[in-house]
Every structure is written in C-alpha cells, then in structure tokens.
C-alpha cells in the first residue's frame, strides 16, 4: 500500500530507499519487502525516469505498490529540476527530493522553497552539504561535509520532512570502503528535529550503517550495490545459458537484486516493521 514519507520515517530504525528503473527492479524491491515484512521506499533518479518514462514508471510502480500489503513510498531521488518535481507530483509520487546541495547556500534555500511550493504539501527531502562522487548529472569533485550550524540555519528556513547530510558518505562505490564521521553525525542529529538521510550507502560497511541508524539516520539510499548484483547475475546467466528468451535471464537478475535488498533491510533494522 502507498505510504507517506512522514509516517515511514517515524520509527527508531531506518527505512531502505532502493533505486529502481524498470519492471524487474520494482518487483525485486517489493518482493524483498514482502519477504522481510519491511516498509520501503522505491525511488527513481531523473536519469532513471528519463530512461523509463516518468509517467509510465509512475503508473507501473504505483499500481504495483497499491497491490502489496507492505507500506511503500514512491519517491523522486535527487530532483534538480522543478519541472520534474511538478510532473512527479502530478503522476502520484508520494514524496520528492529536491537536491540543491551543489548550489551556494542561499540558492539552495531558494530552489528548495520553490520545490516545496510546487509539491503542494507532499513530503519533501532536501540536502545540505555535498557528497563526493557522482550525484546524478552533477559531479562533485570534493565532498563538502554538512556543517551543523549551516544545517540548522537551512532547517529553520526550509523545514524539510527529511534532510540528507554529507558525513563521509559518497555515491557510486561498489566496495564498502567509506568512513563515516560519527562525531559530526551526532552533532547534526542532536540539533536537527527532522529525520536524517544517508545517501551513497553502497560504499558504507554494515556495522557503520547500524551505528548511523542508532545516531538518527532514518532513510538509507542504496543503488550501486543493487545494480552490481543485478548485472553480475545477468552476465552469469547469459554466460551459462544460451536461451534467447530475455525473461530467463532477467528473472535471475531480479532474484539476485531481491537478495541484496533483503540483506540491506536487515542492516537497516526495518524487517518485521511493516505491520507494526
Ligand atoms: O544517487 C544517485 C543514484 O545512484 C542515481 O544514479 O542517475 O545513474 O540513476 P542514476
Ligand atoms: P549508492 O549508489 O552509492 O548506493 O547511492 C545511492 C543513492 O544515494 C541514491 O540517492
Ligand atoms: Zn543519492
């Protein structure tokens, strides 16, 4: 069933937000949530929505979510463009992210408030501080860690429903090599009265994720690890089986991605929380 970001992020655990871009990835995520009885967020980036077709992706995903019993949010990931925000709201997304983190502080505030106005009351995630690595179409050469003072000023001016922070996390890592700054996370989470979001969690070890959840992270974004399991399983299947029916191979990829999602649900602590 469809669930609002606000209700999803109320627990003392983190809700995994998995990136999707086609039917198989949406199915893998929902199946993982059903098997683990976990609340979930299915999210799509602007480039994924360009690939799948925004309205088409929304129609398929919303229908699939309405059919399942677990609570699921459908979320725009790293929205940079106000027109995309408008189209997502119109298509029935349950929440959006406006990512103005690569802009100077005042411009980030300005575009965040514009997105809030356009989103007409659906919950909104914002970001302060920029991650190293690849952020959708924008390349951040160096991370700008979130400063607690700046985060507080940003929070007071924008009042987001969720706030993404930069604490050593970085996008696009297929190996778990990142080191989070927990002292910084503690400072931010003790001051900001809104759920915090960890992007780029593919490169973060399970033990660090668990510690981050204890310190106030309530939404964990995960993409690269899912892509890796999907693509490696697809390759293995194609190498081992000459069947020309794509479904034979896509089924294997979907299953592999589902298993990765189940593993991450355990780390987030969201398993078994769907009906509580
Ligand atoms: O955080 C960004 C996501 O991994 C989206 O990447 O633009 O390649 O879909 P993408
Ligand atoms: P990873 O691809 O590093 O897991 O990051 C995902 C993400 O932050 C999506 O917004
Ligand atoms: Zn991200």
Tens place of pLDDT per residue across the chain (276 aa): 999 999 999 999 999 999 999 999 999 999 999 999 999 999 999 999 999 999 999 999 999 999 999 999 999 999 999 999 999 999 999 999 999 999 999 999 999 999 999 998 999 999 999 887 654 434 445 578 999 999 999 999 999 999 999 999 999 999 999 999 999 999 999 999 999 999 999 999 999 999 999 999 999 999 999 999 999 999 999 999 999 999 999 999 999 999 999 999 999 999 999 998
Q: Ligand 2: which of 217, 223, 231, 257 to mutate, judged by most atoms within 8 Å of the beta carbon?
A: 223
Angle at 32 between CA 31 and CA 34, to 5 degrees: 65
Name the closest ligand to CA 47: 1
58 alpha carbon – ligand 1 mean position (Å): 17
DSSP letter at 272? T
Q: Is 166 in the pocket of ligand 2 (CB under 6 A)?
A: no
- What residues does each domain of the chain span? 12-268
Q: Which residues are catalytic?
A: 77
- Cβ–Cβ < 8 Å for 74, 92: yes
Beta-bridge partner residues of 221: 17
CATH 3.20.20.70 is right for the domain spanning 12-268: yes
> Residue 36 class from Cβ within 10 Å (0-12 exposed, 13-18 middle, 19+ buried)?
buried
Q: Which residue has the tokens 């503690």?
A: 186
Q: Is 75 in the pocket of ligand 2 (CB under 6 A)?
A: no
- pLDDT score of 139: 46
Residue 269: left (phi > 0), alpha (psi -120 to 50), or beta? left
**What's the full length of the chain, in residues?**
276
Give the Cα separation of 145 and 164 in Å (integer).
11
Q: Tell me the three-class secondary structure of 92-103, residue by residue.
A: CCCEEEECCCCC
Q: Distance of alpha carbon 9 from its chain centroid, rounded?
A: 12
pTM comes to 0.96
Give the Cα separation of 68 and 22 in Å (integer).
18
- Determine how many CB atoms are found less than 10 A away from the CB of residue 12: 10
- pLDDT score of 129: 92
- pLDDT score of 134: 53
154 alpha carbon – ligand 2 mean position (Å): 23
- pLDDT score of 170: 94
- Atom number in ligand 1 closest to CA 221: 1
> Residue 153 class from Cβ within 10 Å (0-12 exposed, 13-18 middle, 19+ buried)?
middle
- Atom number in ligand 1 closest to CA 21: 9
C-alpha separations of 197 from 57, 125, 169 in Å: 24, 8, 11
- Cβ–Cβ < 8 Å for 199, 173: no
């Amino acid at each position: 069933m469809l669930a609002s970001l606000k209700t999803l992020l109320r627990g003392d655990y983190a809700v995994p937000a998995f990136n999707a871009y086609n039917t198989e990835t949406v199915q893998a995520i929902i199946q993982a949530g059903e098997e683990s009885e976990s609340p979930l967020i299915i999210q799509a980036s602007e480039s994924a929505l360009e690939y799948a077709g925004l309205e088409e992706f929304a129609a398929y995903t919303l229908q699939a979510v309405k059919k399942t019993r677990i609570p699921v949010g459908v979320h725009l990931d790293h929205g940079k463009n106000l027109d995309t925000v408008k189209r997502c709201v119109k298509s029935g997304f349950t929440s959006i992210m406006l990512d103005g983190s690569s802009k100077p502080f005042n411009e980030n505030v300005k575009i965040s408030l514009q997105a809030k106005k356009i989103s007409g009351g659906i919950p909104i995630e914002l970001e302060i501080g920029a991650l190293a690595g690849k952020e959708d179409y924008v390349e951040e050469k160096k991370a700008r860690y979130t400063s607690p003072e700046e985060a507080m000023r940003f929070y007071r001016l924008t009042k987001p429903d969720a706030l993404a922070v930069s604490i050593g996390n970085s996008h696009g890592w297929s190996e778990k090599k990142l080191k989070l700054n927990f002292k910084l996370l503690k400072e931010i989470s003790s001051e900001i009265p809104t759920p915090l979001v960890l992007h780029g969690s593919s490169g973060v070890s399970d033990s660090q994720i668990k510690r981050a959840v204890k310190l106030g992270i309530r939404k964990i974004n995960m993409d690269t690890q899912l892509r890796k399991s999907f693509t490696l399983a697809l390759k293995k299947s194609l190498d081992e089986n000459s069947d020309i029916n794509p479904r034979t191979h896509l089924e294997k990829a979907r299953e592999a991605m589902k298993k990765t999602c189940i593993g991450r649900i355990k780390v987030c602590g969201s398993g078994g929380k769907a009906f509580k």
